Amino acid sequence: MHARKTQGEGWSDGSARVDEEKHAGLGFHVQPRPDDYEETPQERETRFRRSYLADMDCTPCNAKPDGKVVAEVEDCRGVDVGRRQDHQDLFARYGKGVWIWVWVTRSHVQSDLHRQWPTIEVWLDGESAGCLTPLQTSRHYLQVPEDGCVTQAHICQDPHTGRYHMRVELPPKHKEIDLSPYIIRDQAVAASDRQIIASIADGRTDGLAHG
């Protein structure tokens, strides 16, 4: 027998069901949580993040590149972009607190001890804006498609040194992976691929004639 409910009464089977309520502000239905529900750290972080973004003007101020958006910014997390010292002039064009569209690609380190190791490179208006560290790359590499993707980033500024740095928005980290299978050992191929990526990031198609 199915439980019946009449106006002003509970369910006939005595169960403590909670009616679905309509959220007046957003226009979708939500199921109220039990009074003893404990929020997970991930849920708490997401709630705080949505509240923060709602209070801030996070509208990107530059043109959006063509391509697939990796995820909604509310569902992402900020990740520091390395090699900030090489891109101070680029960041200064926008200034502190500005949100921007960026193009994100799989790439390979061009110098240092990790040369030719895979990395995630961020492109702003057709210019390289830095790469993720090997650790952060191992946590986000599988989220970036081979043909790249679009996401948002924002410019921060150190209050003591005045130096700028960028935080790029990516989905929550996955389990760290071994990057060694993705190493490019042919430097000529790596240089050619990088030229193609730069052409795509800048909205050009001339670099696609390679191969």
What is the dihedral sign for C-alpha 111, 155, 176, 200?
negative
- The Cα-based distances of 124 to 38, 81, 89, 165 in angstroms read 41, 12, 12, 13
Kindly state whether residue 60 falls inside one of the protein's structural domains: no
Only one residue has tokens 């949580």, namely: 33
pTM: 0.65
Q: Which helix H or strand E contains 105, and what residues bound it?
A: strand 99-108
Buried b (16+ CB within 10 A) or exposed e, 46-79: beebeeeeeeeebeeeeeebebeebbebeebbbb
**C-alpha gyration radius of the chain:** 23
Do both 44 and 148 map to the same domain?
no
From first to last of the 211 residues of the chain, give the pLDDT tens digit: 554 544 444 444 444 444 444 444 444 454 566 666 676 666 666 655 565 555 566 789 899 999 999 988 878 888 999 878 888 999 999 989 899 999 999 988 877 666 778 999 999 999 999 999 999 999 999 999 988 999 999 999 998 999 999 999 999 889 999 998 888 655 555 565 666 666 666 664 444 443 3
Do both 78 and 51 map to the same domain?
no
Do both 135 and 162 map to the same domain?
yes
Do both 111 and 194 map to the same domain?
yes
User: Contact, 126 vs 198, CB < 8 A?
Assistant: yes
Do both 111 and 49 map to the same domain?
no
User: Contact, 167 vs 78, CB < 8 A?
Assistant: yes
C-alpha span between 85 and 165 (Å, rounded): 8
Kindly state whether residue 14 falls inside one of the protein's structural domains: no
C-alpha span between 151 and 156 (Å, rounded): 17
What is the dihedral sign for C-alpha 166, 171, 176, 180?
negative
Domain that holds residue 50: 29-55
